Structure 1
Amino acid sequence: MKRLSIGVMFPSSRSEAVDVRACARHAEDLGLDALFTGDHLAASVGTRESTLTLATVAAVTERLRIGFGVMVLALRHPAWAAKQIATLQHLSGDRVILGVGSGGAVHGSTAWEAVEVPYAERGRRTDAALEVLPDLVTGRSAVLRSGVPITLTPGATMPPVWVGGGSRAALRRAARYADAWFPSMITATAVAEGRRELAELAATYGRPIPHLAVGGSVLLGPAPSPSLLSDATAGLTQYGVPPEVAAHLPITGPPPQAAERFREYAEAGADHLVLGVIGDDWQHQCELIAEARSLAELP
């Protein structure tokens, strides 16, 4: 079986109580591949600023990749975003994974109104930023949408871009700009179908097929809490997932059962899994994820 990298999302509940350094060290000690954080200016659940969180992770780890899951690029000026990304690359030793999303209606309009960015322009602004980011990050001259030329120094290695979202627009964006397509909460069957469509779209741009990274959720152990699972699947329906599909998406059960789900995604074409933990026992869940990875015989 091909190598399937396994990353985890920072715990999202009670974020003010989360020890960022301890979480980072724990994930690295377990041999997990990456630690991702969400990116929200204003959301129903309080979150820390993503670039500073990842800079802290970089400071206390040596090997762990650090990822945006995902950066809402349209909320930022692309030059400032590029400066942050390049700096993270320098601080981390080129360990950044740049997950990018255009933002979703589920989080409301507050953030967009606060930074005076029309919500309807988010897709166009995301594409425009992805056009110039490689030049901005690497220190080459770029011309911004305003027509202003700028060169940022010091330049850095452009990190791999993972475009999030399961829509047709996200697939087109991934095919045109990304190193990986990064949908969340989809079945292994949908991964295989998406890969075929992605291959067709990439060919129209004369690009290789992007890798596939799949976001999922886990609640591992001998007896998953029915109430926690119910809350988690109910939350998925807010993102447009049909209830009958949402009920089967979380990866549950003991590590051997989880290992089988990991294999299903790998066989469908996934190269990476990025797993969010259901509930508050994040550290123990990470331990079970690492055990499941070992049982799946993934190198």
Structure 2
Amino acid sequence: MTALGAVFRPQLPPERLRDVVRAAEDAGLEELWLWEDCFFESGIAAAAAALAWTERLRVGVGLLPVPLRNVALTAMEAATLHRLFPDRVGLAVGHGVQDWMGQVGARVESPVTLLREYLAAMRALLRGERVTADGRYVKLAEVALDWPPATAPAVFAGAIGPRSLRLAGEAADGTMLVAGTSPDGVRKARRLIDEGRTAAGRTGHHQVVVYLHTATGPGADARLRAEMEVSDEDDIAELGVAGDAAAVAKAVQRLADAGADTVVLQPTGDEPDPEGFVRFVAREVRQLVP
């Protein structure tokens, strides 16, 4: 079955999170994803609050920008969440927006090298290993978590370009694809991910999560078009969907058929009813997606 989720956009103030989270929980939404975009809201702090306010909802952060975060800190935070809320946490790490990384003095010369070193160290720490690393960017000396998760959790990598997608297949447990990825883009991403997995000798299923630009209700088409124009995306038919539950479900199914395991519906930044949006996903779209 294709997993279905929705995004809480950080354009909303943090104090709106509780109402959206409770609406998602009450409606039976499977997954709610948060962002750590600069300079809106902390992904980890928001995730901890969302998880504490709920009993069943799975909460993800997609993604945590690795230039901004020491890998030991991210592993500590991830381990704490996984121990407090077993089987309800999803975390993705990635390059981050380079202009933002530059603003805080964290931009690196080789984002791919950093992500490779980071994934290796983070996954080892979450497996409970004692890690020493002397990489170009990641440097650890006999570091081990005192409270690693009982079972090593999946670590996802956010990826767009070919090198990053191959790296995700090689070094991550799953891949997160941005909104605006077409079904053909998902197929191409799967091929590149599989190239990385083959090169690394990895077997088993590799989870792919993809965001989908989504608008529903009054003015949906205009809101979606305006959002995608800001993002320099103009092929709404392939890269986003506006309409009722049936139209959204068809767009979700196209991504699932292309290889997505989880589709996360991303509302527009000016979505007028965030609580209603998560209810729409859980109650109307879910029943139409196998």
112, 123, 127: which is aligned to 1:134? 123
Matched AA of 1:235: V
1:228-275 deviations in Å (ceiling 9; x for gaps)? 2232112322xxxxx443574222111111111111111111110112
Residue 272 (structure 1) aligns with? 262
Residue 61 (structure 2) aligns with? 68
- Distance in 1 separating the partners of 2:148 and 2:15: 35
206, 213, 234: which is aligned to 1:210? 206
Relative distance call for 1:231 and 1:247 in structure 2 (3 A) is farther
* 8 Å Cα contact 1:99-1:162 kept in structure 2: yes
* 8 Å Cα contact 2:60-2:89 kept in structure 1: yes
TM-fit CA distance, 1:69? 1.0
TM-fit CA distance, 1:89? 0.8
- Distance in 1 separating the partners of 2:24 and 2:71: 31
- Distance in 2 separating the partners of 1:21 and 1:244: 33
45, 67, 78: which is aligned to 1:85? 78
Residue 154 of structure 1 aligns to a residue whose secondary structure is coil
113, 116, 136: which is aligned to 1:124? 113
44, 47, 63: which is aligned to 1:51? 44
Residue 109 of structure 1 aligns to a residue whose secondary structure is helix
Residue 220 of structure 2 aligns to a residue whose secondary structure is coil
* 8 Å Cα contact 2:10-2:41 kept in structure 1: no
Residue 231 (structure 2) aligns with? 236
TM-score (structure 2 length as normaliser): 0.89
- Distance in 2 separating the partners of 1:173 and 1:128: 11
* 8 Å Cα contact 2:5-2:281 kept in structure 1: no
TM-fit CA distance, 1:186? 0.6
Residue 148 of structure 2 aligns to a residue whose secondary structure is coil
Percent of residue pairs bearing the same amino acid type: 26
TM-score (structure 1 length as normaliser): 0.86
TM-fit CA distance, 1:108? 6.0
Residue 181 of structure 2 aligns to a residue whose secondary structure is coil
Structure 2: where are the runs of 5+ without partners? Answer: none
**2:23 counterpart of 1:26:** yes
TM-fit CA distance, 1:197? 2.9
- Distance in 1 separating the partners of 2:250 and 2:99: 31
- Distance in 2 separating the partners of 1:102 and 1:246: 26
- Distance in 2 separating the partners of 1:84 and 1:180: 19
* 8 Å Cα contact 1:55-1:91 kept in structure 2: no
* 8 Å Cα contact 1:189-1:268 kept in structure 2: yes
* 8 Å Cα contact 2:116-2:167 kept in structure 1: yes
* 8 Å Cα contact 1:174-1:210 kept in structure 2: no
1:110-144 deviations in Å (ceiling 9; x for gaps)? 13x1xxx3332433222111111122223321113
* 8 Å Cα contact 1:103-1:122 kept in structure 2: no
Matched AA of 1:53: A
- Distance in 2 separating the partners of 1:122 and 1:48: 23
Q: How many residues align?
A: 280
Residue 149 (structure 1) aligns with? 142
Structure 1 stretches (4+) deviating beyond 6 angstroms? none
90, 95, 101: which is aligned to 1:102? 95
170, 184, 191: which is aligned to 1:189? 184
TM-fit CA distance, 1:196? 2.5
Q: Which moved more, 1:79-88 or 1:190-199?
A: 190-199
Matched AA of 2:172: A
- Distance in 2 separating the partners of 1:177 and 1:255: 36
* 8 Å Cα contact 2:176-2:210 kept in structure 1: yes
Structure 1: where are the runs of 5+ without partners? Answer: 238-242
TM-fit CA distance, 1:163? 1.4
